[in-house]
Amino acid sequence: MTVRILGLPLDLAERAQEHHDGLAREMALISLGVSRAGADDSGLPARFLEVVRSVTTDVTPFRALREERMAEARARGETSVDIVYEAPTALAEAVERLRALQAEVDAYCRQGRYLLTLETPPDVLAYRMWLFDEFTGQIAGRPPRRWVDTTATPTA
């Protein structure tokens, strides 16, 4: 399936990636510590450990293309970019699993017991949901929708 991401906001996409990368690093460290200590000795809930392992082993095959297109757009002085992906239809199911996992991770972030990373900021969350919706929706046959920042505060 062809998936068209229209108007991907460069600054927000970079912030989303930074948040994700920081969280992934923290979860990788937790996973490493648990593997050294043994899961039974970690004191962490089993579901948390399952989520950590799922998120840290997730590989986003579309990241390289996105980063390349974003760099090209930045070099042209643009603030957004359109990206066209060829995606297998099975990706929709993987995106839904990732959506659920990231919601669980945000819940752990809010609790503040196991993670230092703060929960996803509202604008980054809106961007992430739009991106997930674009992949799942377009794979299901819906036409692409351009990014519209719904979290921006209107100016007087």
pTM assigned to the model = 0.81
The residue-averaged pLDDT of 10-15 equals: 96
pLDDT value of residue 58: 44
The residue-averaged pLDDT of 126-140 equals: 95
What SS3 state is found at 148? Answer: coil
Based on the number of CB atoms within 10 Å of its own CB, is 49 exposed (0-12), middle (13-18) or buried (19 or more)? Answer: middle
Query: pLDDT at residue 38 above 60?
Result: no
| Tens digit of each residue's pLDDT (9 = 90 or more) over 100-109 | 888 888 988 8
What SS3 state is found at 103? Answer: helix
Q: Where are the domains of the chain?
A: 2-139
40 Cβ partners below 8 Å, 6+ apart? none
pLDDT value of residue 25: 82
Q: How many residues does the chain have?
A: 156
